[in-house]
Amino acid sequence: MSPQEKSWTVALPMIALMVAVAPQASAEPISRSNWVPNVGQLNLEGEQPLGDLWTFKCPEGGTVNASVDTKDDTDAAESDIDPVLLLVDGRGNLLAFGDDDVDCSYPPVCGFSCPSIAAVACGRGENHSLVVRDFGAADATGTACQEGGGYNLIVEVFKAGGSQLSERRVELGGGPKNKVPKWALDLGKAPIGPALDDEDVPQGFEFFDSGSAGIGVSPDVLLEKQ
């Protein structure tokens, strides 16, 4: 064996070892942008807020982080929505509710902050949903949010072992690409067809009426600003 062949014989196992122990590049957070109308005051019995529903995959034993950030709706570096976020598992259990958890990039003209949920355990059924909507008739500044506004939804999903799922595996989507979940149809809060975009979405109380609320979530957080 020539000296050159010997060097390659030694180098190949070392290269294989380096590849084996090389750290895996973490996936980037998944981001989607859309617009929602303001909810205002719901005066009629059974009236539903308008908002968006995003479906995604959340594996058994895994966890999810999700947040909503605002956009400049006024050309004055302000937002015209007070966003809230609901996380629902594949069986229609409300797992988490986010509201006024972190600062918004563009402060809502009506006051308040942006929603964020972190390290929430995936529930039953792999197909989960995130509902994004305006909170409703509330203001802390004397100026109401009333024109509707844009938002960014940011999602990270992790397996039971802690590795982050890629965007392809998470399959975060809405609109014509994803069907409305069965739980939404069972609650009578969605039409049959594509996932919801500026359409009727659950306000949140329905989950408690149906006995499907997740542990640690109280209807009080959906009722009024603290």
Q: Domain locations in the chain? A: 26-41+48-204
DSSP string, 62-113: -EEEEEEEE--SSSSS-BS--EEEEEE-TTS-EEEEE-S-B--SS-BTT---
Q: What is the per-residue pLDDT for 215?
A: 65
User: Which pTM does this prediction carry?
Assistant: 0.84
* Residue with more model confidence, 10 or 190: 190
Predicted confidence (pLDDT) per residue in 16-74, tens digit? 444 333 334 457 899 999 999 998 787 766 678 889 999 999 999 999 999 999 999 99
Environment class of 112 (CB within 10 Å of its CB; exposed 0-12, middle 13-18, buried 19+): buried
Predicted confidence (pLDDT) per residue in 73-123, tens digit? 999 999 999 999 999 999 889 999 999 999 999 999 999 999 999 999 999
Which residue blocks in the chain are alpha helix, DSSP H? 3-21, 167-170, 182-186, 205-209, 220-223
Specify the CATH architecture of the domain 26-41+48-204. Sandwich (2.60)
64 forms beta bridges with 120, 157
Q: What is the per-residue pLDDT for 216?
A: 65
Q: What is the per-residue pLDDT for 183?
A: 86
